[in-house]
């Protein structure tokens, strides 16, 4: 045989021997192996896996990364609201509910790729520096943010920062570019978005969230409206995603009589705790109607549930989100934390309004599915759990397991969405028009501080036809005369609201002028 042939035969024999030795090693390992203790009750398996990684993994471990992933994965297997928050997310989350944050003190919108200042917070750093409503933000610390599709959340991050630090802002005011050096400071965050009288006896209060200052703000706003003649309050909790439980309890206490149950909470490691009104609320004699929607959640549902179950007032709108779980914060030394669900809360009638989360996908897409199923357009399409029946103090039937069902259901009005309306929405035509009106009437708008003068301004400037010229001329939109007339029924109040927002009346003006096309509010006014 050739030498090369003998070499090949030798290689094959060595391969067979080596394979047999490896197989023998594996077999002996299986025969002699020590089974690791994986009793779940002591978290043994999890700890063993982490030890195995540390002692055997092929590469250097990033223990921080692995730990963060393990914690997040563990919590994700529980309920949708038990979450791990890394330091930055925890700080942002708590800042939103704290009642203040560090920044420059402006509210802005981005109608056409350029941020426009809507409000300069009184007493804040921007007001002291000289910024005004209507200013266009061009640069932040030399970085161009106008006309370059700069993300809005990135603008916010660039302008925020620790109190005492400085930021350079360049704005366009009219035709002039003006640089400002602003020293950041503590900025109060208000949770009452609007509070004003709808008519001689009815007041309107829109509450955006349940922050640390919610009770104080709501209480003071309601007392002010009562001094103006309010006998009945419309408490608008639509799009209020909740917040602090104690603030919801305090707010309920203002409207409920002594001994009325507000709610009770209970969990495996939390004994039942019942919360009742103490009878010292100063608004117990005030008529009340609560407005809710599919994005009203948590503390909003606590308030609505307490009012409904005690038959204290009517609930108007659409079925609320359905969050009946109580989270408690736990903090770590690295400034991260966990929000862990520790109990369920129950309304006075004994219902837990938490919707099912057995399917994570169904839970995450629940609101979207309400649109697909037609629920937001018809109360008859709402599915309620007939096996989970409870009764209000007056004997009315209410259901658990799926949010707060309003006493008066108000479907979403889809008739307003004409083709012209859709075109304007896509191009943000109404918002850009409002900005253009401020450019034109800025001095007059900035001086208006009461609704009487605002009414006179809006009726005198023929905004309907100025908007027509703007939409058809600048934006090149087209529609029939009939479609224009039908669209204006809904769009003109919106235009008034957006323009009036640039005055000193701010958000109060926006909500007041938007009310004529607010079907939920109209239904609430007809309910008493």
| DSSP output for 166-207 | EEEEEEEETTEEEEEEEE-EEEE--SEEEEEESSSSEEEEEE
Q: Choose among 379, 387, 383, 386: nearest CA to 406.
A: 379
Dist CA 135 CA 179 (whole Å): 11
Return the CATH number at 150: 2.30.42.10
Q: Which residues pair with 357 in a beta bridge?
A: none
**What is the pTM assigned to this prediction?**
0.84
Instruction: Based on the fold, state whether residues 184 and 196 are members of the same structural domain.
Output: no
pLDDT at 45: 84
Which 8-state DSSP code applies to residue 229? Answer: T
Query: What's the rounded mean pLDDT across residues 97-116?
Result: 82
pLDDT tens per residue across span 477-513? 999 999 999 999 999 999 999 999 999 999 999 999 9
pLDDT at 528: 80
Domain range for residue 234? 192-328+339-409
pLDDT at 38: 53
pLDDT band at 118 (very low <50, low <70, confident <90, very high): confident
Instruction: Based on the fold, state whether residues 299 and 393 are members of the same structural domain.
Output: yes
Q: Choose among 215, 246, 204, 255: nearest CA to 524.
A: 204
pLDDT band at 1 (very low <50, low <70, confident <90, very high): low
pLDDT band at 37 (very low <50, low <70, confident <90, very high): low
Instruction: Based on the fold, state whether residues 211 and 168 are members of the same structural domain.
Output: no
pLDDT at 426: 86
Assess contact for 434 and 428: CB atoms under 8 A: no
Number of domains in the chain: 4
Instruction: Based on the fold, state whether residues 176 and 209 are members of the same structural domain.
Output: no
Instruction: Based on the fold, state whether residues 440 and 485 are members of the same structural domain.
Output: yes
Q: Choose among 190, 145, 189: nearest CA to 167.
A: 145
pLDDT band at 519 (very low <50, low <70, confident <90, very high): very high
* 426 within domain boundaries: yes
* 86 within domain boundaries: no
Judged against a pLDDT cut of 50, whether residue 29 lies above it is answered with no
Instruction: Based on the fold, state whether residues 214 and 168 are members of the same structural domain.
Output: no
Instruction: Based on the fold, state whether residues 144 and 161 are members of the same structural domain.
Output: yes
| Residue with more model confidence, 89 or 66 | 66
Judged against a pLDDT cut of 80, whether residue 253 lies above it is answered with yes
Dist CA 492 CA 456 (whole Å): 15
Query: What's the rounded mean pLDDT across residues 399-428?
Result: 92
Q: Tokens for 277?
A: 């009104």
Instruction: Based on the fold, state whether residues 399 and 263 are members of the same structural domain.
Output: yes
Residue 280: half-sphere exposure toward Cβ, Cα within 13 Å? 3
CA distances from 311 to 240, 306, 523 (A): 22, 8, 18
Instruction: Based on the fold, state whether residues 397 and 487 are members of the same structural domain.
Output: no
Instruction: Based on the fold, state whether residues 355 and 206 are members of the same structural domain.
Output: yes
Judged against a pLDDT cut of 90, whether residue 36 lies above it is answered with no
Judged against a pLDDT cut of 70, whether residue 10 lies above it is answered with no
Judged against a pLDDT cut of 50, whether residue 100 lies above it is answered with yes
Q: Residue ranges of the alpha helices (H) in 58-145?
A: 63-76, 87-98, 125-129
Instruction: Based on the fold, state whether residues 156 and 115 are members of the same structural domain.
Output: yes
pLDDT tens per residue across span 322-352? 999 999 999 999 889 999 999 999 999 999 9
pLDDT band at 30 (very low <50, low <70, confident <90, very high): very low
Query: What's the rounded mean pLDDT across residues 134-163?
Result: 90
Last residue of one domain, picked from the residues 359, 376, 409: 409
Judged against a pLDDT cut of 80, whether residue 96 lies above it is answered with no
- Using only C-alpha atoms, what is the Rg of the chain? 30
CA distances from 399 to 297, 319, 324, 494 (A): 16, 11, 13, 36
CA distances from 260 to 119, 249, 310, 347, 397 (A): 41, 12, 7, 11, 18
Q: Choose among 474, 480, 464, 484: nearest CA to 432.
A: 474
Percent of the chain surpassing pLDDT 90: 66
Instruction: Based on the fold, state whether residues 49 and 132 are members of the same structural domain.
Output: no
* 376 within domain boundaries: yes
* 7 within domain boundaries: no
Dist CA 166 CA 481 (whole Å): 53
Last residue of one domain, picked from the residues 354, 374, 409: 409
Element (H, E) at 430: helix 429-447
Residue 234's SS3 state is strand
Dist CA 485 CA 474 (whole Å): 20
* 208 within domain boundaries: yes
Q: Choose among 179, 190, 186: nearest CA to 130.
A: 179
Assess contact for 167 and 182: CB atoms under 8 A: yes
Dist CA 264 CA 343 (whole Å): 10
* 31 within domain boundaries: no
* 154 within domain boundaries: yes
Dist CA 139 CA 451 (whole Å): 35
Query: What's the rounded mean pLDDT across residues 453-466?
Result: 95
* 263 within domain boundaries: yes
């Amino acid at each position: 045989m050739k030498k090369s042939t003998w070499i090949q035969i030798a290689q094959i024999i060595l391969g067979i021997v080596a394979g047999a030795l490896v197989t023998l090693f594996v077999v002996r390992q299986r025969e002699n192996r020590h089974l690791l203790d994986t009793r779940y009750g002591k978290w043994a398996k999890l700890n063993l896996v982490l030890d195995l990684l540390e002692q055997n993994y092929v590469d250097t471990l990033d223990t921080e990364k692995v730990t963060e992933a393990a914690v997040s994965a563990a919590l994700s297997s529980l309920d949708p609201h038990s979450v791990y928050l890394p330091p930055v997310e925890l700080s942002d989350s708590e800042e939103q509910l704290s009642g203040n944050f560090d920044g420059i003190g402006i509210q802005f919108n981005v109608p056409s790729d350029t941020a426009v200042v809507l409000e300069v917070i009184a007493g804040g750093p921007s007001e002291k520096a000289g910024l005004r409503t209507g200013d266009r933000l061009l640069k932040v610390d030399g970085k161009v943010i106008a006309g370059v599709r700069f993300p809005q959340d990135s603008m916010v991050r660039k302008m925020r920062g620790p109190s005492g630090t400085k930021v350079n802002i360049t704005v366009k005011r009219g035709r002039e570019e003006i640089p400002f050096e602003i020293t950041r400071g503590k900025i109060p965050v208000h949770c009452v978005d609007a509070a004003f009288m709808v008519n001689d006896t009815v007041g309107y209060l829109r509450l955006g969230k349940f922050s640390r200052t919610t009770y104080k703000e709501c209480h003071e706003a309601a007392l002010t409206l009562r001094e103006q003649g309010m006998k009945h309050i419309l408490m608008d909790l639509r799009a209020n995603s909740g917040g602090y439980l104690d603030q919801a309890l305090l707010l309920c206490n203002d409207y409920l009589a002594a001994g009325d149950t507000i709610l009770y909470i209970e969990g495996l490691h939390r004994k039942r705790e019942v919360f009742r009104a103490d009878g010292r609320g100063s608004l117990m004699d005030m008529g009340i109607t609560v407005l809710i929607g599919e994005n009203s959640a948590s503390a909003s549902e606590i308030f609505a549930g307490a009012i409904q179950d005690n038959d204290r007032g009517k609930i108007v709108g659409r079925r609320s989100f359905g969050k009946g779980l109580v989270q408690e914060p736990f903090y770590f030394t690295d400034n991260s934390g966990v929000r862990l669900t520790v109990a369920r809360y129950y309304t006075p009638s004994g219902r837990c309004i938490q919707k099912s989360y057995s399917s994570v996908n169904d839970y995450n897409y629940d609101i979207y599915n309400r649109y697909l199923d037609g629920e937001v357009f018809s109360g008859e399409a709402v599915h309620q759990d007939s096996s989970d029946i409870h009764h209000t103090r007056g004997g009315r039937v209410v259901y658990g397991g799926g949010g707060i069902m309003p006493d008066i259901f108000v479907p979403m009005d889809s008739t307003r969405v004409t083709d012209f309306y859709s075109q304007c929405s896509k191009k943000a035509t109404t918002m850009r028009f409002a900005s253009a009106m401020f450019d034109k009437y800025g001095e007059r708008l900035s001086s208006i501080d009461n609704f009487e003068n605002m009414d006179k301004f809006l009726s005198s400037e023929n905004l309907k036809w100025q908007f027509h010229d703007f939409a058809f001329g600048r934006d090149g939109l087209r529609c029939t005369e009939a479609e224009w007339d039908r669209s204006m029924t809904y769009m003109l109040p919106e235009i008034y609201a957006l323009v009036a927002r640039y005055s000193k009346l701010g958000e109060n003006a926006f909500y007041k002028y938007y009310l004529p096309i607010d079907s939920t509010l109209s239904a609430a006014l007809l309910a008493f």
